[in-house]
């Protein structure tokens, strides 16, 4: 049996990442006809169409979808194996890392992380992206290097994860608010006016579900997209903000916080990355920086 041409793996990886013969050709610096011939060879080798025309564009086949992650990992592993094993020189490192995280993470940990990086590797820059969803696509396609979040079903099974810290929901009100005096009971908490944090215009949360299970419902006066906006409103009004304690600890200084009178369990915030970056020395160093900053904050 003839050995397959392993060069086709790299071509297949680019094709599946781009989803277009024309874009893949430009990325590989090949002519469209040469790219089409490579696709024909791949179709013959795999016994699958891989890319199928749909209107003016092309879509990947189910087999191609199943192959995408494994092919990407094989290509990156081969590149890592053939790369010179140079010692990481942080002083000479010139690189931009893209980190996708919630605004609360950036506001609470970002400054200390940047200070740590500036001290050790002044040529490194961080590009923080706001996390609007939990899909693993940006990690998979390489547009994001690191991500923070709570692991759930939306996270791809191939994604690496390491726990950073435990967090919990707390209520926060302005100094002098009536909830800052006396015990905060379920009835008092639910009866107050609330500012609700939602990234997807979702009117319910774990808090609302826990209240509903007890036959209660809180009054949501307004909805905002992030913790900082919720805390800003609570600081200058009688609204109650329900936020993640460690994510927002530096943002509610001078305000009154309290443990929720609800049976909502703590949750783990993790650091997420794609396995192709496991062996990247610079990426390993950055992961260590994030872990250290979160541990001391």
Q: Per-residue confidence of the chain (297 residues) as pLDDT tens digits? A: 567 777 888 888 888 888 888 888 888 888 988 888 988 998 988 888 888 887 777 888 888 888 888 888 788 777 766 765 557 889 999 999 999 998 888 988 999 999 999 999 999 999 999 877 767 788 888 889 999 988 876 676 788 999 999 999 999 999 999 999 999 999 999 999 999 998 766 667 889 999 999 999 999 999 998 888 999 999 999 999 999 999 888 889 899 999 999 989 999 999 999 988 988 899 999 999 999 999 876
CATH 3.40.190.10 residue spans of the chain? 95-165+271-296, 169-265
CB-based contact 223:229 (threshold 8 Å): no
The 10 Å Cβ neighbour count of residue 7 is 10
User: Where does 95-165+271-296 sit in CATH, by number?
Assistant: 3.40.190.10
The 10 Å Cβ neighbour count of residue 216 is 15
Structure tokens at 219: 């009054």
Quick check: pTM over 0.85? no
Distance CA 254, CA 20 (A): 54
CATH of 169-265, picked from 3.30.70.1880, 1.10.3720.10, 3.40.190.10, 3.30.1050.10, is: 3.40.190.10
User: Tell me: domain 7-82, CATH 1.20.1260.10, correct?
Assistant: no
CATH 1.10.10.10 residue spans of the chain? 7-82
Minimal CA–CA distance to 189: which of 216, 223, 212, 226? 216
Phi, psi of 203 (to 5 degrees): -80, -5
């Amino acid at each position: 049996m003839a050995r397959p041409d392993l060069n086709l793996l790299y071509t297949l990886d680019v094709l599946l990442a781009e989803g277009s013969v024309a874009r893949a050709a430009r990325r590989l610096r090949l002519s469209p006809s040469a790219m089409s011939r490579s696709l024909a060879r791949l179709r013959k080798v795999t016994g699958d169409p891989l890319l199928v025309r749909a209107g003016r564009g092309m879509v990947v086949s189910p087999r191609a979808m199943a192959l995408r992650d494994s092919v990407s990992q094989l290509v990156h592993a081969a590149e890592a194996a053939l790369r010179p094993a140079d010692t990481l020189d942080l002083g000479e490192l010139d690189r931009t890392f893209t980190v996708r995280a919630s605004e609360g993470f950036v506001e609470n940990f970002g400054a200390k992380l940047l200070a740590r990086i500036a001290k050790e590797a002044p040529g490194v820059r961080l590009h923080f992206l706001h996390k609007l969803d939990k899909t693993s696509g940006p990690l998979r396609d390489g547009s994001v290097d690191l991500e923070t979040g709570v692991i759930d079903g939306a996270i791809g099974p191939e994604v690496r994860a390491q726990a950073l810290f435990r967090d919990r929901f707390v209520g926060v009100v302005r100094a002098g608010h009536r909830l800052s005096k006396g015990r905060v009971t379920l009835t008092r908490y639910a009866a107050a006016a609330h500012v609700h944090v939602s990234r997807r215009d979702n009117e319910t949360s774990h808090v609302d579900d826990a209240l509903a299970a007890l036959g209660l419902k809180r009054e949501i006066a307004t909805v905002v997209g992030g913790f900082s906006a919720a805390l800003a409103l609570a600081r200058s009004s009688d609204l109650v903000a329900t936020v993640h304690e460690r994510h927002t600890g530096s943002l509610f200084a001078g305000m009154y916080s309290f443990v929720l009178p609800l049976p909502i369990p703590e949750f783990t915030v993790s650091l997420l990355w794609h396995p192709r970056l496991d062996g990247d020395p610079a990426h390993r160093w950055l992961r260590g920086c994030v872990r250290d900053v979160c541990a001391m904050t």
